[in-house]
Structure formats: structure tokens, C-alpha cells
Amino acid sequence: MNQEILTRFREIARNHFFSRNWEPLTATGRQRGFLSHKPIDRQLLTAIGGCSLDDFPEVGNIIRESSQTGLPQEQIQQLLLVGILATLARNAILVGKEETAFLYLNEAINLLRANYFPNYLLGILDELRGMFSRQAESVRLDCIDKKVCFVHIPKTAGKSVNKALYGERFGWDSLAYHARISDHRLKNNPYKFCVIRNPLTFYVSIYHFFREQMNNIKNPLRYIASDVEFNVFLEIITDCGLFKQYLDAKKIKLWGRDRKFALAQNPEIGLLTFYFLYMCFNNNQMAILSPCKVFQLYPSQFSLDAVLRFESLERDFPALMSEWNIPVLPLEQLNASKHDEWSRYYTKETKNIVLKKDWLIFKLFYPEFLKSCGLYSW
């Protein structure tokens, strides 16, 4: 995101219009004299990205229309700032800088929302805010589509991340709903990332999720979760042989990634490790290799640019998106299953099952946890 340009713009605007700090104009602010009433001139516009007054045709219209209504000079100046920001946003869109346009549009929206204007202008300003808001969201989504690809591993806050990326757009969750990286139709070589979580909490979460959503989802794993206790569920779901045997006995038909888990017949990995290998590598053979072999090939064979940990997602997701100049919405907690603290569901034996079957996940992303259990080396 071109923060440097926006910072420069604010500095120029503050020097010309504000005697103290850049902040929205309010009735209280007016009384305190935050505006300096300095005239708007060609120097201001020239200083913004090397532009001249001729580059902002909307600005002249705003000045003329506002002057005819008899608005005070300070409010005309505020409207002029909105006009400049809108024009800068339009120019940024034309050169493919959607993230910069998003910044400018939001700045314009904040100025219109915060400023005090006469009642007879409120309707027009509401329409203007609405127009800018719709345009800002459209620009943001264009940027998302071009610049980022999210691989949604089940029960790793995927709905929350998708909502932060795609907002309220119809079908936002289906855009990256548990698709493998090789199934995404990528253009422009976007940034690619996923979220992983501690396998011990993953199995607790997925077990309770399928029990709670038994009547609302079609995933065949719901039949296992609703039929057995957690320790039996864990033994089945971390052993592809038992997994296939159980489902065949119940005559439950598998599809998609869960069918691939059964067919992979890799006794060394659990379900979460399989999801990671199957969904995040372009090489389909990774899921049948031993964890030690995969560890040797990682990251040369890894197809993503970043992996975020579920446990620190609230902090790391906004930081990563900022680093990549991706404008996102606030992260919300969605689709969380209800259960007690994870350790209450494990015995020493079942905990060791997860530590061994998902050793690769611990080794790559939770080495400190693996060391604490004395299993850092295979």
C-alpha cells in the first residue's frame, strides 16, 4: 500500500489547512481553530505526486458549486480535499494500483463522514459517501482477486479469513472453499498463503464441529464423530487404514480430499498432515512420502508464500496483508465449534498418537511444542 504517498498528502494538507494536527473537521474542532484558512493554490496540487490543477477537473467543479451555495471557505477546502482524493483514486485505478485507490477513497469517506456541513448538504453527502463506499469495496475486491490466493485447510479459521478477504460478496466462501492450490485458477502470480493450527486442537475442533453440525453438512466424517467417543474418533481419523475400514463397514461413500486420504494409504501421517500435503503442494506425490522425506524437500517443493499459525492469526494476518499491500476487512471469529480446553480430551496415549502422526506439522510450525514433548527428532 502506498503509505508514503498518503503520508506526504496528509503533510501537505496539514501545512495548508490545519494549524495543529490532521484530524476530521467537527463543530468542536472548528471552535478550537484547527483550520488555518490558507488559500488553495497550484503549489498544493503540484506538490501532490507532481500533479497540476489541470489534472483535477472535478476540483474546479466542486469549488464553483460550493462557492455558489455560500459555504464558508473552510468547508470548501474540505470538499476540495475530497475531490482531490477521489481523482487520485481514479488515476490509481487506471494504472492498476487498486490498493492505493482504496486508501484514497477511504480517506475521502472519512472526511465526508466526520465533517460538519449544513443540513441541506447532508443528503448529497450521504449519496457521495455511498458511492465512494461501493467503489472502495469494488476496488478492494479487484485487488484481492489479482494479488492473493488463500488455501483453506478445514477448521483453521478459513471462514473468518475468507470473510476478511471477500466481505459480503455473494458466494465469498466458495471462492476458496477447501480447494487445493493446484485447483485455483491463478492469474498475475498472486501471493499464496494458508493457516495451520496445532494438531491437538485441530482434532478436538473437527470432532465437535461434526457432532454439532450433523444435520447441516454432508461431509461423511460427521458419521464417525456422531457415532463414537473422541478417543476412538482420533484413532480412526489418524490412521488411513482404519479410516477406510470403518467407512467401508458402514457403507459410507467418500469423496474429495477425504477419499484421497483413504487411498493414499500412508500410515505415517494423520488427517491434518494429509490436508496440508494434499492442499498446499502442487506435487501430488507429497502425500504418500514419509514425513522425514517431506521435511527434507520442504520448502523447495512448497507451493505457498506464507503459512500463518491459527493461534496468532489475529495479530499475524493483518501484519501479513499489510506487508503484501492487501486491503482487508477486520478479522471476525466465525464457525467456531464449542468445546472445553483441548488437553481435557487427551490421555497420554492419544496425545502421543497425534504427536507421531502429525510430527511434520509440529516440526515445521510448532518446534517448541515438539521439543517440550521430547519428540523433536524423528
Question: pLDDT tens digits, residue range 211-230?
Answer: 887 767 777 778 788 888 99
> To the nearest 5 percent, what fractions of the chain are helix, strand and coil?
65, 5, 35
Q: What is the pLDDT of residue 18?
A: 36
Predicted pLDDT at 229:
92
Residue 26 confidence (pLDDT): 33
For the cut 80, the answer to whether the pLDDT of residue 128 exceeds it is no
**pLDDT score at 11:** 52
Residue 353 lies in a domain: yes
Residues 186 and 139 in one domain: no
Per-residue confidence (pLDDT) for residue 313, from 0 to 100: 95
pLDDT-derived band at 153 (thresholds 50, 70, 90) equals: very high
Q: What are phi and psi of 232, to 5 degrees?
A: -70, -40
Rounded distance between C-alpha atoms, residue 167 and residue 160, angstroms: 10
Q: For residue range 57-74, what is the model confidence (pLDDT) as tens digits?
A: 555 555 566 566 666 766
The answer to whether the beta carbons of residues 96 and 90 sit under 8 Å apart is: no
270 and 255 in a common domain? yes
pLDDT of 39 reads 39
Question: Cα–Cα–Cα angle for 179, 183, 184, nearest 5°?
Answer: 85
Q: How many distinct structural domains can be found in the chain?
A: 2
d(CA 243, CA 258): 10
Q: How confident is the model over 251-260, as a mean pLDDT?
A: 79
pLDDT at 37: 31
Statement to judge: residues 286 and 331 lie in one domain: yes
**Cβ atoms 151, 178 nearer than 8 A:** no
Shared-domain flag, residues 265 and 166:
yes
Do 243 and 199 fall within a single domain?
yes
Could you list the residue range(s) of the whole structural domain that residue 294 is in? 152-372
> Does 341 fall in a domain?
yes
Which residue's entry shows cell 494458508? Answer: 194
For the residues 360-370, what does the mean pLDDT come to?
92
Q: Taking CA 297 as the corner, what is the angle to CA 304 and CA 295, rounded to the nearest 5 degrees?
A: 95
Q: What is the mean pLDDT of residues 351-363?
A: 94
For 245, residues 6+ apart whose C-beta sits below 8 A from its C-beta are none
Q: Residue 32: pLDDT above 70?
A: no
Report yes or no on 378 lying in a domain: no
Residue with cell 490436508: 275
- Which residue, of 112, 145, 178, is where some domain finishes? 145
Boundary-marking domain end, from 102, 121, 145: 145
Around Cβ 314, how many Cβ atoms within 10 Å? 13
| Contacts for 115 with CB less than 8 Å, ≥ 6 apart | 24, 25, 26, 75, 78
* Residues 166 and 139 sit within 8 Å (Cβ to Cβ): no
* 272 against 105, higher pLDDT: 272
Regarding whether 225 and 190 lie in a shared domain, the answer is yes
**What's the predicted TM-score (pTM) here?**
0.74
Q: Are residues 87 and 229 in the same domain?
A: no
pLDDT tens digits, one per residue of 72-117: 766 766 777 777 777 777 777 777 788 888 888 888 788 777 556 6
- pLDDT category, 55, cuts 50, 70, 90? low
Sequence-ordered alpha helix ranges (H) in 177-308: 199-212, 221-227, 230-237, 240-249, 256-264, 271-280, 291-297
Q: Convert the pLDDT of each residue in 300-347 to its tens digit.
A: 889 899 999 999 999 999 999 999 988 988 898 876 778 888 989 999
Please indicate, yes or no, whether residues 173 and 133 belong to a single structural domain of this protein.
no
In a domain, 277, yes or no: yes
What's the pLDDT at 275? 93
Residue 36 has pLDDT above 70, yes or no: no
Calpha distance 272→280 (Å, rounded): 12
Q: Which of 111-115, 151-155, 171-175 has the lowest mean pLDDT?
A: 171-175
Query: Which residues 6+ apart lie within 8 Å of 373 measured at CB?
Result: 355
Q: What percent of the chain has pLDDT over 70?
A: 73
Q: What is the mean pLDDT of the chain?
A: 76
331 torsion bin: left (phi>0), alpha (psi -120 to 50), beta (else)? beta
Q: Give domain status of residue 52, yes or no.
A: yes
Distance CA 169, CA 181 (A): 22
**377 within some domain:** no
| pLDDT at site 25 | 30
Asked whether the bond before 299 is cis by omega within 30 degrees of 0, the reply is yes
Let me know whether 117 and 85 are in one domain.
Answer: yes
Residue 306 or 41, more confident? 306
Rounded Cα–Cα distance for residues 318 and 72 (Å): 40
Residue 112 belongs to some domain of the structure: yes
Cα-flanking dihedrals φ and ψ of residue 103, to 5°? -60, -50
Give 340-347's long-range contacts (Cβ < 8 A, gap of 24+).
342/198, 342/200, 342/201, 342/204, 343/200, 345/204, 345/230, 345/231, 346/200, 347/231
Q: What is the pLDDT of residue 14?
A: 47
- Regarding whether 130 and 222 lie in a shared domain, the answer is no
Give the alpha-carbon dihedral of 75, 79, 80, 85, to 10 degrees.
140
In the predicted structure, residue 377 carries a pLDDT above the cut 60: no
How far is Cα 47 from Cα 178, in angstroms, rounded to an integer? 48
Residues 158 and 256 occupy one common structural domain: yes
Determine the pLDDT at residue 70: 65
pLDDT at 293: 92
Q: Is there a single domain that holds both residue 131 and residue 238?
A: no
The whole-number pLDDT of residue 71 equals 67
pLDDT tier for residue 270 given thresholds of 50, 70 and 90:
very high
Residue where a domain terminates, one of 114, 145, 176: 145
Assess contact for 109 and 133: CB atoms under 8 A.
yes
Please indicate, yes or no, if residue 104 is contained in any of the structural domains. Answer: yes
Predicted confidence (pLDDT) at residue 144 exceeds the cutoff of 50: yes
